Structure 1
Amino acid sequence: PVAALLTLEQGIDYDAIDNQPVDTLFALLVPEESTDEHLKILAQLAEMFSNADFCSQLRKNSTAKDCLDLIAHWNTNQQLSA
């Protein structure tokens, strides 16, 4: 899989459930034969992006490395604090 995280300086109207402009986009490219892996990744992303703390931390990060580290370690940190 290949992923890309895009953050926008100005949010765009995307008919979001919370009526807030969308300022963070995540693109995911997965081989056609990797359906199970694709669904697992989508489930993890949905959980992360549904968490206000995660989204807040992501928006505060100023470098790609900081964003990648947050995403890579989020599940581990959540399990440790549970």
Structure 2
Amino acid sequence: MHHQDRDQDQALAAVLAALLLVGGTLIVRELLGLWPAVAVGMAPALALYGGPPAARRIAVAVEVRRFRRHLAHHDRAAG
């Protein structure tokens, strides 16, 4: 029974999120025009789609840079 309640809550949350996104996009369209509305409507979807891979790439780049600095420091210290 508890599992069904959680599924219904998640479905309700998804529907409300979609309604807010559509409603917000329509309001922005009326206030600012078509292209800003498209940008506002697509930005959350693109962020959810592209955000995690971009964050992973940034994290890997930071760690590689940190490792290279560590190696360079040891090379200078060794001789």
**What is the TM-score when the length of structure 1 is the normalising length?**
0.32
Larger helix proportion, structure 1 or 2?
2
Decide which structure has the larger Cα Rg and report it. 2
Q: Tell me: higher relative CO, structure 1 or 2? Use CA pairs within 8 A at least 6 residues apart.
A: 1
